[in-house]
Structure 1
Amino acid sequence: MPQKPDEYAIHLFLSNGHREEVRFLNIQEFQQWYSKEVVPKYDSQEFVTVPIKNIQGEYMVVRPAAIVAIRVEPIFFGSVERL
């Protein structure tokens, strides 16, 4: 039986070479944010808010046109990391 991820790390790769990581509790939350905020404004230079739920009082904004790639990484808290 496949194991369900505890959360998802979303890696945003920006056009200036920076990388940012944001975490979502489930893939549906990420898909909802992506489809409502990023897709409609994919070539916009206006800022959109990126939800940061694991750090209270902190927020991030990004220009959708600056996002060149997104990597979705499932995180399993019960797994052992191998070096």
Structure 2
Amino acid sequence: MPRTPDEYAVHLFLSTGHRQEVRFTTIQEFQKWYSNELMPKASSTDFINVPIKNVPGEYMVLRPANVVAIRVEPIFAGSVDRSFADEY
């Protein structure tokens, strides 16, 4: 049975060499932001909002033209029983 990620870490690589990580709860949520906010303005130098839901009270804006790569990483927060390690 395939596992379902608990959230997705989206790594934004910027032309300045900086990297920023933003988390989305579902891949559909990321795809909606990507297709509605980032892609239509891909060559724009105007700021757009990047949702930061895991840090209350903070926000981020970026210029879409400065995004050179995006990496999407599924995050699994399932429990793993490691009690056997205590026996050695």
Q: TM-score range by the shorter chain?
A: over 0.9
Unaligned runs of 5+ in 1: none
Structure 1 residues 79 and 65, CA gap change in structure 2 (3 angstroms): farther
Give the TM-score taking structure 2 as reference length.
0.89
Deviations 1:14-66 (A, max 9, x none): 00000000000000000000001111000000000000000000000010000
Give the TM-score taking structure 1 as reference length.
0.94
Q: Counterparts of 1:12-31 in structure 2 under 5 Å?
A: 12-31=12-31
Kindly state the Cα deviation for residue 2 of structure 1 after the two structures are TM-superposed: 0.5
Output the amino acid matched with 1:70.
I
Q: Which has the higher helix share?
A: 2
Unaligned runs of 5+ in 2: 81-88
Larger radius of gyration between Structure 1 and Structure 2? 2
Seq. identity, %: 71
Kindly state the Cα deviation for residue 78 of structure 1 after the two structures are TM-superposed: 1.0
- Partners in 1 of 2:7 and 2:15 — Cα distance? 26
Structure 1 residues 79 and 12, CA gap change in structure 2 (3 angstroms): farther
Kindly state the Cα deviation for residue 79 of structure 1 after the two structures are TM-superposed: 5.7
**Count of matched residue positions in the alignment of Structure 1 and Structure 2:** 80
Kindly state the Cα deviation for residue 77 of structure 1 after the two structures are TM-superposed: 0.2
- Ranges of 4+ aligned residues in structure 1 off by more than 6 Å: none
- Partners in 1 of 2:79 and 2:64 — Cα distance? 33
- Partners in 2 of 1:22 and 1:36 — Cα distance? 17
Q: Counterparts of 1:20-59 in structure 2 under 5 Å?
A: 20-59=20-59
* Helix, strand or coil at the partner of 1:70: strand
